[in-house]
Amino acid sequence: MATEPFTIAFVAGVTLTKWTAAWEARHPDAPLAFEPTAAATQLDAVRERRAQVAFVRLPVDATGLSVIPLYEETAVVVVPRDHALAVRDSVTVADVGDDFDILPQSIARSFARKDTVTRPVSDAEPTRIALAWRESATTEQIEEFIGIVRGRTANSSRGAQEAPAPEPKKKQLPPKPKQKVITGRTRPRKPRRR
């Protein structure tokens, strides 16, 4: 009997390789499927049960969903190499004006050409990437995928408590030599010569 694929929806610019490679190494018998989404419809695949999870750009309407923020992306602008902004290390939203769109860095990479340059927009809000799934449809597979995304290893378990880290061993110092108590003298005796 064929196993249903675990379907991952993703918005443009998200690179899934490290997570899908970990999934495939741990579950070679559980195939993956992918559904690219547009920003305006990035949750449709999850809400309509075509995908188990979705990588989305925040903010989203999280009604009925569980959402885990993952990372932020710098906003950038892509300009022609001979443009006045191309000589600067970074630009501001005012510099860009209405001439160019401000893009997440991962999307801007797809527009990279020899005749363009990418510059960070220093005062633009970063975009945030998150993992979303239907709250009512959390399965063992989804829990496993969340664990992979969060960096849990194959040997760790979500529910199991990890053994506490052993306390570092204290360095054993040699015992201090006992000092002789001298009474009635102000100076210690000199050692005798043999």
Residue 23: per-residue pLDDT: 94
**In degrees rounded to 5, what are phi and psi of residue 96?**
-75, -40
Q: What count of Cα atoms within 13 Å lies in the side-chain half-sphere of residue 142? A: 20
CA distances from 105 to 15, 98, 117, 119, 190 (A): 12, 19, 12, 9, 78
Residues 14-59: tens digit of each pLDDT? 999 999 999 999 999 999 999 999 999 999 999 999 999 999 999 9
E-strand ranges in 25-92 read 32-37, 53-58, 65-73, 75-80
Structure tokens at 150: 């969060």
The H-or-E segment that residue 69 falls in is strand 65-73
Q: Which token pair is 47?
A: 């809400």
- CA–CA dist 139, 119 (Å, integer): 42
pTM over cut 0.75 = no
* Domains located in the chain, CATH noted: 6-72+127-149 (3.40.190.10), 75-120 (no CATH)
Give the pLDDT band of residue 167 (cuts 50, 70, 90): very low
* Phi and psi torsions of 35, nearest 5°: -135, 105
Could you tell me the pLDDT band of residue 166, with boundaries at 50, 70 and 90?
Answer: very low
The bridge status of strand 103-104 relative to strand 75-80 is: antiparallel
Angle among Cα 55, 70, 155 to the nearest 5 degrees reads 95
Rounded Cα distance, 99 and 78, in Å: 11
- Which among 166, 163, 92, 164 has a CA at the least distance from the CA of 125? 92
Backbone angles phi, psi at 23, to 5 degrees: -60, -50
- pLDDT band of residue 160 (cuts 50, 70, 90) is very low
Q: How far apart are CA 167 and CA 6, in angstroms?
A: 41
3-state class of 23 per DSSP?
A: helix
26 SS3 class: helix
Contacts of 117 (CB under 8 A, 6+ apart): 78, 79, 80, 81, 86
Mean pLDDT of the chain: 83
